[in-house]
Amino acid sequence: MSGRNVLVTGGTGSLGSAVVEAFLAARDRVVVPWIVQGEAERARAAWAGALRDGRAVLVEADVADEAGAARAVAAAGEVDVLVNGVGGFAGGTPVDATPLDAWDRMYRMNVRTAAACARAAVPGMRARRRGVIVNVASQAALAPPAGLSAYAASKAGVVALTRALQEELAGDGIRVAAVVPTTIDTPANRAAMPGADPSAWTPPAKIAGVILWLASDAASTVRGALVPV
């Protein structure tokens, strides 16, 4: 299970950093694209040792763009595992009060990033006849609450992408799955919902553990799964 090349998009965020640390603990080499300078600086401090010995690699790239996704995949080399962890949230307003720009932003962050990275990584995986892709969806995609239409629709796109990719890649030795979290216990969510009880929220490390398992040989027969966390 160790020694793989793993590409984790969104790896400098709250969930993504937990995913990166899980794969580093499994002795994998992890490539993390970034676009937010402050997040990259925190990552450099947190993973200083891994960056020094080459087990972690930071590459500046906007993976919503074709060139950025290609640059991230090139930095990883032979991608054994792709974790599409980039994501964004917008909500709190009904459809008629949600700007169309919010729909575009949710699609770009949640769906286009995953599609662009899969598009860049799949040819190499197909040539080697192996690989794992794990996407990050949301319970909002399966049971959309009021006021989250743009976000829920974009995460439903991630669900559809997961299932479509598995159908396309089933004969190529490539497995595709998605984790489907409820509210994640992150500093951003705590700040956005100060009156909520975070004790019922999911810690990022727990989700990271499920992603690590989905990428392992123990999950070799799990294909096209949507795993609630």
Please give, one letter per residue, the 3-state secondary structure of the chain. Answer: CCCCEEEEECCCCHHHHHHHHHHHHCCCEEEEEECCHHHHHHHHHHCHHHHHCCCEEEEECCCCCHHHHHHHHHHHCCCCEEEECCCCCCCCCCHHHCCHHHHHHHHHHHHHHHHHHHHHHHHHHHHHCCEEEEEECCHHHHCCCCCCHHHHHHHHHHHHHHHHHHHHHHHHCEEEEEEECCCECCHHHHHHCCCCCHHHCECHHHHHHHHHHHCCHHHCCCCCCEEEC
Fold of the domain built from segment(s) 5-228:
Rossmann fold (3.40.50)
The model carries a pTM of 0.95
Rounded-to-integer distance, Cα 70 and Cα 3, Å? 22
Block residue for tokens 């917008």: 90
Q: What is the pLDDT of residues 154-170, one digit of tens each?
A: 999 999 999 999 999 99
**Could you state, in order of their start, the residue ranges of all structural domains in the chain?**
5-228
Q: What is the pLDDT of residue 104?
A: 96
Q: Identity (one letter) of the amino acid at 215?
A: A
Q: What is the pLDDT of residue 2?
A: 61
Tokens of 169: 């890649």
Q: What are phi and psi of 198, to 5 degrees?
A: -75, -5
Mean pLDDT along residues 12-18: 95
Mean pLDDT along residues 128-133: 98
Task: Indicate if 107 belongs to the active site.
Answer: no
Q: Is the pLDDT confidence value at 44 over 60? A: yes
Q: Identity (one letter) of the amino acid at 159?
A: V
Neighbours of 1 (CB within 10 A): 12
Which range, of 70-74, 94-98, 193-197, averages the lowest pLDDT? 193-197
Q: How far is CA 166 from the centre of its chain?
A: 16
Q: What is the pLDDT of residue 92?
A: 77
Mean pLDDT along residues 176-180: 98
**Residues in Cβ contact with 163 at an 8 Å cutoff, skipping those fewer than 6 apart:** 224
Q: Which of 31, 61, 151, 165 is catalytic?
A: 151
Q: What is the pLDDT of residue 211?
A: 98
Mean pLDDT along residues 197-223: 95
Q: Is the pLDDT confidence value at 1 over 90? A: no
Rounded-to-integer distance, Cα 183 and Cα 27, Å? 29
Sign of CA dihedral 44, 47, 49, 51: negative
Q: What is the pLDDT of residues 79-100, one digit of tens each?
A: 999 999 999 888 778 999 999 9
